[in-house]
Structure 1
Amino acid sequence: MRAPKALLAVPLALALAACGGGSGEGPSGDGGRRAAGKAVPGATVTVADSGLGTILVDGRGRTLYAFTKDKDTSGSCGAECIAVWPALTGSAPASAGRGVEAGLLRGERRAGGAVHVTYGDWPLYYYVGDATAGEVNGQGLDGEWFAVSPDGKLVRTAP
């Protein structure tokens, strides 16, 4: 019998927390797990086709998610949450790649100076359970985490 994906996230989150993981930006090659306060410039948001339809991804093809508890582009994902859902951050605003509406792409300055990339009304996050480009293992988790479409709406389709 296979363990539910949500249960698999707990050991992964503990390992990440023990290693000092935090918010980060995938194009740096760190898989979206760069230590807090070490944001990198040059984040790119683009689109990719997936089993969910066309969704937002980073420059390396990693799925970007929104958290339904976030309001008005303000992130509400605390330290324990960020261990499992690292924020897409950079030291400067992100650039719009192919298929992205540049007018929806913004950045919200966070404590420590990092810019948390937002799209429409949604701060963007990774899911640590997505190990490679194209994975959507975080889709629909806890009924609160969803991929984002190029029009800025949540994709509520099951994977």
Structure 2
Amino acid sequence: MRARIAVLGAIAVIGLAGCGGSEKDPGRSGQGPAVEKAGEAAGIKVSPSGLGPIITDRSGRSLYAFTKDKAGTSVCEGECIATWPALAGKAKAALGEGVDRSLVKHSQRSEGTFQATYGDWPLYYYAGDAQPGDLDGQGVDGEWFVVGANGKLVKREA
């Protein structure tokens, strides 16, 4: 009887280990936020913040732009993308509340996903932001800034 209980317990543990959600623990796992569900298009909207109205994902997580990107093309790869994951998906981003549709474009990344751009700025998360509304990436290295609802970089301090 003990052997059977031990086997059933081991199966339950293995089964639960494989049931992890699609969301990674941003800022803690070292892999950055993966807040969009597999197969689901990324989504953007305008959210209020201490810096004024800014572009966020559909959950309210702040999205940033990299000043080294030019003409809507991302230059963030390798170690950069590990800290600044692209807002990208297999389909083009869904547009939410307050978004100026004329400012939205999409670029295709090397791995075949579509990265949303807003006002010619490819959009990224910051792995150090732990929850919606965090602005810990604002001004990092003088190169990373949130994007305002008007498509321009917000260069004020958070």
What stretches of structure 2 of length at least 5 have no aligned partner? 1-26
Instruction: Write the letter of the residue equivalent to 1:97.
Output: G
Whether 2:127 is the aligned partner of 1:118: answer no
Instruction: Write the letter of the residue equivalent to 2:83.
Output: V
Shift of 1:158: 0.5
Moved over 3 A (4+): none
Instruction: Write the letter of the residue equivalent to 1:157.
Output: R
1-side partners of 2:61 and 2:83: how far apart? 15
What percent identity do the matched residue pairs reach? Answer: 49
Correspondence for 1:69: 68
Question: Taking structure 2 as the reference length, what is the TM-score of the superposition?
Answer: 0.78
Question: Taking structure 1 as the reference length, what is the TM-score of the superposition?
Answer: 0.77
Deviations 1:15-70 (A, max 9, x none): 62xxxx47x75232xxxxxxxxxx64321100111111110000111000000000
Where 2:132 maps in the other structure, the secondary structure is coil
2-side partners of 1:111 and 1:76: how far apart? 11
How many pairs are equivalent? Answer: 132
What stretches of structure 1 of length at least 5 have no aligned partner? 1-11, 29-38
After superposition, the Cα gap between the structure-2 partners of 1:43 and 1:129, relative to the gap in structure 1 and judged at 3 Å, is same
Q: Is the 8 A contact 2:128 2:137 kept in 1?
A: yes
Query: What is the correspondence of 1:23-34 to structure 2 with a 5 Å cutoff?
Result: 26-28=35-37
Correspondence for 2:104: 105
Deviations 1:59-118 (A, max 9, x none): 111000000000011101121001100000011111211110112112111122101111
Q: Which stretch shows the higher mean deviation, 110-119 or 121-130?
A: 110-119
Whether 2:43 is the aligned partner of 1:44: answer yes
